[in-house]
Chains A and B, each alone.
Chain A
Amino acid sequence: MSRAIRSASSASSDKVVNLRDCGPEGCDIDWLSSERHETEIDDVMEFTRYALDRGWGDGLPLIPPTEARVRQFLSKNNRYADEVICTLPPADGECTVEKIAINAVMAGARPESLPLIIAALEGMADPNFELFGQNTTTAPVFPLVLVNGPIRNKLDIPYRHGCLGGARTDATAIGRAIRLIIRNVAGQEANVTSQTTFGSPGRISGILFGEWEERSPWAPLAERRGVKGDAATVYGTMGTMNVLDTTSQDPREFLEMTGKSLGYIGANGFSPAMPFAETMVAINPVWAELIHAQIPAMEDVQEILWQFASVDADYLTPKHRQQLEAQERIIGGRAYLSVEPKDILVVVCGGTGGLHATGFHSFGSCLTQTRAIVPGPELEG
């Protein structure tokens, strides 16, 4: 059964909010089920200290998730507050729309970002994404979120200059909301459930960026993965690695330089503990155009990058080589960062200054997931 109720928010433009099973007499009930805590709500710094003491925060200022703010966030979306989107490991906490809204409010994310956050979390919750391993490991890994489709512009998702960090955009708060959900719902906390040795700056607000589809000569990454239009792709990254190339003139040389730079033996893709590792590469739009003119097929671009992202087996330390040999991962005297060319994921983004590519090494053993970003169901009444 579903009943329509009016948001308690004072904002008159807010929509009616629905809740399942809210009783035969209508919905004059408390439809937000989270525990309440009485605390200072006007002073952001005071609340931030309060939240930090309880393990809810990342150290940056947090907006108090008052009932009014959370209701207002939900009222601008067509989702039921009690809908369970997924469970997130290692705590296996139930990630409801309400919990997403609370954490998004704390992070300062816009209500319009909810469908994107949900799509990203659905991807992360897929067992093939191996979020359990990512959230507990000694590695610094965290899920990167790549956004495709028109929603990039609606949410001001950066895909041009500084798209991986530093661009002027409030979309940073969306990435932070996802990170707070990983902390508060998935239960990831350094030295508690996560043994991460160094962590990563990406564990504060993540890396959330778009593909510059209008400048890419290839189909958007999500479309190549079977999802057209608005989509979120999540990928377990160890961080970013810059590739500078001021010498190459030929597109193949760009790819050779980038591929060779990716292939360093301490990358998880070369670890005997990881059966495979995808690798994401961001190519700037200037290079993309040049490369496409000579190598139009994405499969060929992937093949060249894959080929060069490898090392001579003799370059490995003897024990490392021995273990990879035992796993039959030395092919023709070389060890490869990724098992197959299709595991190299290429996206186009970044500024028009060119000169650089970015490599995102993977944790390994986690399969990248792409999900459509969809609005919630239509409201009643």
Chain B
Amino acid sequence: MALGNILDPTALRSDDITSPGPDAGILAGKTVGFRLDEIWRAWDWMAEYWADEFRALGAEVVFWRSHQGRTGAEGERVAAQLDQFLDSIDIAVVGLANCGSCTGWTVRDALCAAERGLPTTAVCTEVFLELAQNLAKRGGRSGLRMHVLPYPLNEKQREEVDQVARDHFIGLMETMGVALEGAREAVR
């Protein structure tokens, strides 16, 4: 037995922003942007339901559908679209972290939005929460806001998904930092 020094093999970044970033605040007059993807139909339904609720609170809502293909010419096109989308909104709701790589891209896109100073919330299903948190931390922003949905979600029928959307709307707004005075009463 002999003690000695060995060199650390890791190179993980040590910087970290623990702040969740700015609150969404009052929604009236603002544009809420939903980042969708092309895999999860349940996420489309959730976003549609929540969009109606946001509109009822005086917000405008826009959607942008991301793609898994982030390489080559297609990747450049998607990156440009993401830029345009983030330029057009005041508040970002980014999802859905519901598989490994889509959790990765959800968190990456959410970090892009947060880096611009937008109030940003990533949405994940509970199985992928830990992964999303780890990726946000490794991405230098452990404070990224995350709203957690039940899992499995995509396997549910439309009416079941609508019920999940209904049940989670107040919680989503709390995560986003929406000014809730008067908002609770307006919710369906």
Contact = CB atoms under 8 A, between A and B. Distances in A.
A56 B12 CA distance: 12
B163 interface: no
A128 B102 CA distance: 17
Contacts of A128: 71-72, 75
Contact of B71 (A34, A37, A129, A137): A129
A56 B10 contact: yes
Interface in B131-173: 131, 134-135, 138-140
A67 B12 CA distance: 20
B139 A92 contact: yes
Interface in B1-16: 1-13
Given A139-B100, A273-B38, A367 B13 contact: no
Nearest to B99: A138
Given A38-B5, A195-B131, A274 B103 contact: no
A36 interface: yes
Contacts, number: 160
Given A41-B2, A42-B1, A193 B138 contact: yes
B67 A275 contact: yes
A36 to B, nearest CB: 4
A66 interface: yes
A207 interface: no
Interface string A184-220: 1101000111111000000000000000000000000
Interface stretch (A96-104, A110-118, A241-249): A96-104
A256 to B, nearest CB: 30
B74 interface: yes
Interface in A33-71: 34-43, 46-47, 56, 64-67, 70
Given A94-B11, A184-B11, A195-B128, A41 B101 contact: no
Interface of A: 32, 34-43, 46-47, 56, 64-67, 70, 90-96, 98-99, 102-103, 106, 127-130, 132-139, 180, 184-185, 187, 191-196, 272-276, 364-367
Q: Which 3 A-B pairs have the closest CB atoms?
A: A195-B100, A93-B11, A136-B104
A136 B67 contact: no
Contact of B6 (A43, A66, A96, A99): A66
A275 B74 contact: yes
Interface of B: 1-13, 38-39, 67-72, 74-75, 99-105, 108, 128, 130-131, 134-135, 138-140
Contact of B12 (A93, A136, A367): A93
A34 B12 CA distance: 12
A65 B9 contact: yes
B11 A32 contact: no
Given A70-B7, A136-B103, A137-B101, A91 B71 contact: no
B101 A99 contact: no
Contacts of B11: 91, 93-96, 99, 184-185
